[in-house]
């Protein structure tokens, strides 16, 4: 039986190196259409102090955040301009495509979230709310604005008896035929009688579809707006705050957008299993907090612990309820849930043979600790939890030694160029430190790490783990 359902980790995470050209260029060879790109200038030959660019398909290709500071989201029209089937396209922005003497080298770490074709079912009920209204998945608010992704297929299940006499349809006009419009039928099918088993309306959102409105053909004032766009993500109603989610349940990664309420809340993440890490960043600039990157994990001591991706500080304990298979929780902190402010969250659930998130203790020895992951790592990020240290980022593409040894490092919390740090061996079933640098292997210092696979293991018939060699 397979140890992991993911036999090709590079279909879900991949590192891509490229050289800036100062103009425009398409970067190919990623192997999939990425939903999250984390880009860093490696050598900064132009002296620009170029920071880390974090760009995702839920916020949009031109929206940048920076792990090395707590600034709000910026719109950069000449940065990453599109996510493509095998990579992404760049404009002339020096942050992602500088060309100082033709020597600016970049690394892009790429993750796949929901991809281009989500298939989601919403359970529909009709409730009395200042007149009859549609409600989805028993969410506490009626007639909400939906987010529907181009290319996605959405099933509106009207089996519940409350739907009797209330057929749900779509229009390009608010309130449909009641508002003077007509029914929208492109890629829309209906089945059965509302209120009876099997009744449903299904829509596959066409490319460049207009803004739609869902409505009842028999009664006015029951529906709301349905945004259709070329961005990625779909409405999620699992939490007390409605979210927009792009989720890769196979690889345990989702991108979640939400608006804060200022009250303790839950937010749907779409993974189907509890994330061990939630990385939260305030997007907007009008909040009262610092806007710090909140790296929330339950891997250190079983409680909710916070580290700031844009800082070097040790962990802080937070009273945040642990995530479930459907939601993560936020408290009233402005960094996570300021009323009216917009947020993005990257959620990671562990998948055997593909991802591993854990902790270890350093020994300040060239024969450093071995950390078991169950696969050969392609990427490792490390942070001291009880000392003031940076976030160290290592991968299997930037070192040119031709061996398992990786020593080219970047720091997520700084604009620094790449440097040679303590050696780390990327081994068949984990990683091992070969240096005494305090950033990754200080004596008695505790660390947390996240890692993604180059090669997974599988189990043979006898239950013995063996590496995958043929895929």
pLDDT, tens only, 360-381: 999 999 999 999 999 999 999 9
Contact predicate 201/153, CB 8 Å: no
pLDDT at 457: 61
Q: What is the pLDDT of residues 114-130, one digit of tens each?
A: 987 899 999 999 999 99
What's the whole-number mean pLDDT along residues 330-350?
A: 96
Whether the Cβ atoms of residue 58 and residue 118 lie closer than 8 Å to each other: no
Q: Which position has the higher pLDDT, 403 or 90?
A: 90
pTM: 0.95
Strand partners, 294: 280, 308
Confidence of residue 460 (pLDDT cuts 50, 70, 90): very low
Q: Poorest-confidence range of 268-282, 390-404, 422-436?
A: 390-404
The CATH architecture annotation of domain 119-231 reads Sandwich (2.60)
Extended beta strands in 47-86, E state: 53-56, 63-64, 74-75, 80-84
pLDDT digits (tens, 9 = 90+) for 381-411: 999 999 999 999 999 999 866 678 888 999 9
First-to-last alpha carbon distance for the chain, in angstroms, is: 15
Query: What pLDDT, on a 0 to 100 scale, did the predictor assign at position 461?
Result: 43
Q: Give the torsion sign (CA, 178, 182, 187, 189).
A: positive
Report whether pLDDT(468) > 50. Answer: no
Burial label, 238 (beta-carbon count in 10 A; 0-12, 13-18, 19+): buried
Tokens encoding 316: 């802080």
Over residues 414-436, the mean pLDDT reads 92
- What are the residues whose beta carbons fall under 8 Å from the beta carbon of 32, sequence distance 6 or more? 11, 12, 14, 85, 86, 110, 112, 115
What mean pLDDT is reported for the chain? 93
Question: Residue 140 and residue 393: Cα distance in Å, rounded?
Answer: 42
Query: Which residues partner with 388 through β-bridges?
Result: none
pLDDT band at 5 (very low <50, low <70, confident <90, very high): confident
CA distance 409 to 420: 6
Q: How far apart are CA 330 and CA 428, in angstroms?
A: 37
pLDDT digits (tens, 9 = 90+) for 165-174: 999 999 999 9
Q: Are 408 and 401 in contact (CB under 8 A)?
A: no
Dig out the tokens for 286 from the structure: 């009008």
Q: Where are the domains of the chain?
A: 9-111, 119-231, 235-348, 355-467
Residue 58 to residue 152: CA distance in whole angstroms: 14
């Amino acid at each position: 039986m397979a140890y992991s359902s993911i036999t090709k980790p590079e279909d879900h995470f991949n590192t891509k190196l490229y050289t800036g050209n100062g103009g425009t260029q398409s970067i190919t060879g990623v192997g999939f259409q990425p939903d999250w790109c984390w880009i860093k200038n490696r050598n900064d030959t132009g002296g620009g102090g170029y920071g880390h660019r974090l760009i995702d398909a839920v916020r949009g290709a031109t929206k940048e955040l920076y792990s090395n500071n707590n600034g709000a989201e910026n719109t950069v029209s000449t940065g990453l301009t599109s996510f493509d089937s095998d990579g992404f396209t760049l404009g002339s922005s020096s942050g992602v495509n500088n060309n100082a003497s033709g020597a600016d080298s970049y690394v892009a770490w790429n993750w796949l979230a929901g991809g281009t074709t989500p298939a989601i079912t919403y359970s529909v009920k009709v409730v009395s709310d200042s007149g009859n209204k549609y409600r989805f998945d028993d969410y506490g608010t009626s007639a909400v604005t939906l987010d529907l992704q181009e290319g996605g297929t959405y099933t509106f299940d009207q089996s519940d008896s409350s739907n009797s006499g209330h057929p749900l349809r779509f229009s390009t006009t608010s309130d449909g035929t009641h508002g003077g419009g007509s029914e929208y039928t492109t890629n829309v099918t209906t089945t059965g009688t509302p209120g009876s088993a099997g009744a449903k309306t299904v829509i596959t959102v066409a490319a460049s579809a207009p803004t739609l409105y869902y409505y009842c053909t028999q009664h006015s004032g029951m529906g709301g707006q349905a945004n259709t766009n070329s961005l990625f993500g779909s409405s999620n109603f699992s939490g007390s705050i409605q979210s927009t989610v792009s989720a890769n349940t196979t690889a345990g990664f989702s991108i979640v957008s939400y608006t804060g309420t200022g009250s303790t809340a839950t937010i749907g993440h779409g993974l189907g299993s509890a994330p061990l890490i939630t990385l939260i960043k305030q997007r907007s600039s009008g909040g009262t907090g610092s806007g710090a990157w909140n790296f929330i994990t339950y891997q250190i001591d079983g409680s909710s612990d916070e580290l700031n991706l844009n800082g070097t500080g040790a962990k802080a304990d937070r009273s945040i309820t642990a995530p479930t298979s459907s939601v993560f929780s936020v408290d009233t902190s402005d960094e996570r849930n300021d009323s009216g402010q917009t947020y993005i969250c990257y959620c990671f659930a562990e998948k055997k043979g593909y991802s591993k998130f854990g902790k270890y203790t350093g020994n300040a020895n060239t024969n450093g600790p071995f950390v078991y992951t169950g696969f050969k790592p392609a990427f490792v990020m490390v942070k001291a939890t009880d000392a003031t240290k940076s976030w160290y980022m290592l991968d299997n593409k930037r070192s040119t030694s031709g061996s398992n040894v990786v020593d080219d490092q970047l720091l997520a919390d700084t604009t620094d160029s790449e440097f040679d740090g303590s050696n780390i061996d990327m081994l068949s079933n984990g990683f091992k430190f070969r240096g005494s640098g305090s950033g990754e292997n200080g004596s008695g210092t505790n660390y947390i790490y996240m890692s993604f696979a180059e090669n997974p293991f599988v189990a043979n018939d006898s239950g013995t783990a063996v590496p995958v060699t043929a895929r």
